[in-house]
Amino acid sequence: MRFPLIFLILALLALTSCQPAVLDPAGPVAGAERTLIFDALLIMLAIIGPTILATLGFAWWFRAGNPRAKRLPYWAYSGQVELVTWGIPLLTITLLGGVAWVGSHQLDPARPLPIQAGAKPMVVQVVSLDWKWLFIYPDQGVASVNELAIPAGTPVHFQLTSASVLNSFYIPQLGSMIYTMNGMSSDLNLQADQPGTYWGLSTHLSGDGFSDMHFGVRALDKAGFDAWVAAAHNGGPALDAGRYAQLAKQSIKDPPSTFSSVDPMLFRKIVTQELAPAPGPDPEPHPKPKPKSASNPAGGVLTAGELSAPHTHAMEH
């Protein structure tokens, strides 16, 4: 009894370091996703809960010491029981499927978020590299690596691609995960309701530096975002094709940095592969050992005839 208790305590201690990011939304998309999760959970509990209670009730009622329990050893079929055991699960699955279908369309990543009249969402172009994230701000004319700054309360339209292998972009507290693909552009709309700092990451295994491929998300008020853009303009090099070629090389744990200006056609050139794709993770990071030659005990190389009859040598030895 002591060991299971110790295991349970250690498991609870390990969970104390986890943050319930998905259940702590900071934007409308993540909030709707949490509601969808809870709705699906309640629908499933509507059948799981009574089933568990019924199982316990049947076990108690039909116990060996209960003389009032009526037992029918030759009973084989009941239409009423079949109606309950099949009808309720079918209704549950239909309701669960309907909720998921409606929610999936309402949370389409490419669907624009509501915005005030006269305003427009901010555009951020995202490029997944090995193993870092590049964020391009076409309207502001700046770019950043491993740091995403957005204005709080403003919908952000992300345009995403990969300069290398398939990857995925995810900010748990803001919402939908979406894949980035080489030679393609995906759309994602998110919003942070309040200023704060959130965690973004890659959720698709992409090589040696995958575990460190995360970034900070800074949701700032208007004055703070304008100050961040001004600071980016005043510091860092310009991001052109030559600088991008250096950036596309594989690296791990790159510190956050900014670029004072950016080629306005850079993202398009990456998507259309006018700029050559990054090499991607090396499938053979370590050199293969050279194959050993088959040699006889005297040190000479065995002939083809000798290799075709290894059993002969074994018998001779």
**Do both 126 and 263 map to the same domain?**
yes
Within a domain: residue 306?
no
Per-residue model confidence as pLDDT tens digits over 145-185 = 999 999 998 999 999 999 988 999 999 999 889 999 998 99
**Do both 158 and 95 map to the same domain?**
no
Residue 219 lies in domain: 122-271
pTM over 0.85: no
Q: Which of 260, 10, 252 is nearest to 140 (CA)?
A: 260
- Region of residue 101 (phi > 0: left; psi between -120 and 50: alpha; otherwise: beta): alpha
What the block records as the tokens of 309 is 């009859």
pLDDT at 300: 44
What the block records as the tokens of 110 is 């490419």
**Do both 267 and 126 map to the same domain?**
yes
Across residues 287-310, what is the average pLDDT? 44
Per-residue model confidence as pLDDT tens digits over 74-102 = 888 888 888 988 888 888 889 989 998 99
What the block records as the tokens of 152 is 């709080």
What the block records as the tokens of 37 is 């999760």
Residue 24 has pLDDT above 80, yes or no: yes
Per-residue model confidence as pLDDT tens digits over 53-64 = 989 998 999 888
- Total domains in the chain come to 2
Within a domain: residue 174?
yes
Within a domain: residue 67?
no
**Do both 258 and 155 map to the same domain?**
yes
Within a domain: residue 266?
yes
**Do both 227 and 138 map to the same domain?**
yes
CA angle 94, 98, 102 (to 5 degrees): 175
**Do both 83 and 128 map to the same domain?**
no
Host H or E run for residue 47: helix 28-61
How far apart are alpha carbons 253 and 219 in whole angstroms?
A: 22
Q: Which of 46-55, 110-119, 130-139 has the lowest mean pLDDT?
A: 110-119
